[in-house]
Amino acid sequence: MFLFGKKLELPGPSDALPGRTEPMPIQGRHLVLGTEMRPPFPAGQRQVMFGMGCFWGAEQRCWELPGVHTTAVGYAGGLTPNPTYEEVCSGLTGHAEVVLLVFDPQQLPFSACLDTFWNQHDPTAGMRQGVDIGTQYRSVIYTDGEDYLHMAQDSRAEQQRRLEARGGGQITTEIRMAPPFYYAEDYHQQYIARRT
């Protein structure tokens, strides 16, 4: 199904673009936090990937949280290895635009990360956020452990109860263990900071 030329269904393995073996080259240091955006990360840090529509504004909301070590934007949840932005926008990779959030759980509880996630986008919108339409804009949570997976699922159920009490729609957020994360092009990293 297409809406204004945008693909709204995820591709199957035979339809997905082939991608490439080489990862996207990026500068490496976070423009705001000054930390490394690639692993290895300090001991004790946890990771989650959030898809909340366009990753530019979503990343800023994440790096502003206290206890965040680093953030990076990229692509996850699809089939194409090391895709380009243009490939993701084609709808033929299956990837969502995501923010990788690396944080110290002693300073930033995962529940606070989830609160930010639920409050910063419409989790009922399906394959879109606002005027952005396409499979890459879907709502996702990809966790680094079973404990966070269950917390995210419980959080989704609680959010659904709240929505239903207000007459809201059905949450479409995909929640699962983290698939591979592919870094987006350097010009997307900390995009809001680059513009100021």
Which residues belong to the active site?
54
DSSP letter for 41, please.
Answer: P
The conformational region for residue 69 under phi > 0 = left, psi -120 to 50 = alpha, else beta, is alpha
Backbone angles phi, psi at 148, to 5 degrees: -70, -30
The Cβ-side half-sphere exposure at 74, using a 13 Å CA radius, reads 26
Token pair for 175? 């929640």
DSSP letter for 188, please.
Answer: G
Rg (Cα) of the chain, in Å, rounded?
A: 16
Token pair for 123? 């989790």
